[in-house]
Amino acid sequence: MSSANIETVNTTADKAKLAASVLLVLGAVAAFYLLGQQGVIAQWAALIACLVFAVIIFLYSTPGQQFVAFGRDAWREVQKVVWPTRKEATQMTAYVFGFVVIMAIFLWFTDKTLEWVFYDLILGWKK
């Protein structure tokens, strides 16, 4: 049995930051609905302000910094991808459509052949 590398939030400060972020998100949703009488601008301002503060607090926590590092690594990997040219993409799309058409014709022919064998030859239903 292999031991999985599980990362947990260990420090009290990180737990407090994550709890504050969650509470700010919940507060943002609550403020949006509770400020319905104040007008749309107040609703959206409270929602956006609370969400921005929640994201800022999350990014200053260890899991937030790990998330940012993961995003940077993922972006570096995406930049290493060799994307096909327009001509290559068009050719591959044409190959896929051609294969689909050939398979559709094959399956239709197989279906009609089996229908003829079972209903006409064996059962004699279609005369």
User: Is 62 in contact with 9 (CB distance < 8 Å)?
Assistant: yes
Mean pLDDT of 32-53: 92
More confident site: 96 or 121: 96
pLDDT for the residue 7? 61
Other C-beta atoms within 10 Å of 95: how many?
10
Q: Give the list of residues 6+ apart from residue 1 with CB closer than 8 angstroms, or none.
A: none
pLDDT confidence tier of residue 123, bands split at 50, 70 and 90: confident
SS3 61: coil
